[in-house]
Amino acid sequence: MNRYKYILFDLDGTLTDPFEGITKSVQYALNAFGIKDEPLEKLKKFIGPPLKESFMEFYGLDSRQADLAVAKYRERFSDVGIYENQVYDGITELLGFLRDHGFVLAIASSKPEVFVERILEHFHIRQYFDQVYGSFLDGRRTRKSEVIRAALKGLQVEDFCQAVMVGDRFHDVEGAREAGISCIGVGFGYGGREELEQAGAAAVADTVEQLGMLITHPEEDIMEPLMHLFRRVWRIHGMALDQVTASRGINTSQMKMLGHIFHHEGISQRQLASDLQLSPPSIAVTAKKLEKMGYIDRQMDEKDNRLNILKTTSKGKELLSQTWEAFTDVDIHMFKDFSPEEINQLSSFYERIRDNLEALIEK
C-alpha cells in the first residue's frame, strides 16, 4: 500500500528550472523603476514566492508600485520569459511512472494558472496532471495555502493523510501545513535542504530519484506510520500556535521577530537580520509593520546614525505576554487527560530519543 495517493506539485524549482525567464523578467521590471541591471543571481530569490510580495519585501515597493512591477514583469514574461525554462532531468519519467501506478497528480503553484497551463503544454507534460491550480491574474489566490486548499477541494480529498505537497521553498512547506497536509521538499530547487528542513518538511529529496522513492516507498516498516504520526502531531501543534497569533492580528514570523527584540532590547536592525538569518530588506519591512502597529519603537543609534535601534513598547510587551500565555494553554491542552504517570513515561521516551540522536551526532 502506498503512503500517498494525491500528489500536489509546485512548478517553478520543482518540475522546471525557470531561472533565466523569471530573473530576466524581474530585471526588466526593476529597470522600469530605475533599478538598473541587477545581477540575475541576486534575483533568483524571486523564484517560488508570490511575485507582488517579493517586490515589496526585497525592494521596498509599496502595494501600488508592486502591482505596477508585476504588470511590467508580465509584459516580458508572458511572451518571452515563459519559455526561458526547462524541465529537470528525470521529471517527465517520474510523472509517467506515478501516473501509470495510480497516483492522482495535480499542480499547486503560486504562478498565475494561465501561465502554468501554457508551460505544461509547451513541455508536453500537461497530460500527466488531473488538475492544475494557480493564482489569478487579478491578484487573487496567491497564498500557497489558498492554492493547496483549492486543489484538495477540487480533487475531493477526504483523508488529508493521503495527500502530499512537493515543493522547493519554505512557502510550499508552510502552505501545506496551513492546509493540513505534509510536504516533501526538493533540495535540487531554489530553497535548498536547510531552508526546507527548518520550515518543517516531512522529508527532503536531493535528487529526482530520491523524490520518487519518498512518494512511492510502501509503509511496510513499523517506523513509517510512527514517524508519520510524529510529524503530523507537530504540524498540528504549529497550526494551533499559528491560530493563536492570527487571532491577534499578527503572523508567526512577526511574533518571532517581536519576541527576539523583547529578549534583546536595543538590538540593531542589522544584528536582528543576522540573528534571524533574514535579509536586511525583509527585516526592514517587518519592523516597519510592527512599528505601525505600535508594538516596537525604532530609533536612530546615537553613536552610529546608520543603524536603527529597536525596542518593544508597552503594547508590544502586553501582546507578547498574552500570546505566550495562550501558547502555554495550547501546550496544556495538548496533554489533556494525560495522567502524571503517562506524562512521566512520555518524558522518559523523549529523553531516550534525545540520547540516541545525540550519540548519533557525536559519531
Residues 6+ positions from 303 with CB-CB distance below 8 Å: none
Residue 300 forms beta bridges with which residues?
308
Buried b (16+ CB within 10 A) or exposed e, 50-86: bbbbbbbbbbebeeeebeebbebbbebbeeebbebbe
258 three-class SS: helix
- What does the alpha-carbon distance between residue 155 and residue 25 come to, in Å, rounded to a whole number? 33
275 carries an active-site annotation: no
Give first-to-last CA distance, the chain, whole Å: 35
Pick the catalytic residue from 10, 17, 168, 172: 10
285 three-class SS: helix
- What does the alpha-carbon distance between residue 68 and residue 259 come to, in Å, rounded to a whole number? 34
Q: How many CB atoms lie within 10 A of CB 221?
A: 10
Grid cell at residue 240: 494551533
Grid cell at residue 15: 518540475
Whole-angstrom CA distances from 255 to 21, 104, 208, 319 are 35, 37, 36, 9
- What does the alpha-carbon distance between residue 205 and residue 225 come to, in Å, rounded to a whole number? 19
Q: How many CB atoms lie within 10 A of CB 92?
A: 16
- What does the alpha-carbon distance between residue 128 and residue 115 come to, in Å, rounded to a whole number? 17
- What does the alpha-carbon distance between residue 241 and residue 54 come to, in Å, rounded to a whole number? 25
User: 3-state SS string over 19-72?
Assistant: HHHHHHHHHHHHHCCCCCCCCHHHHHHHCCCCHHHHHHHHHCCCHHHHHHHHHH
- Supply the residues annotated as catalytic: 10
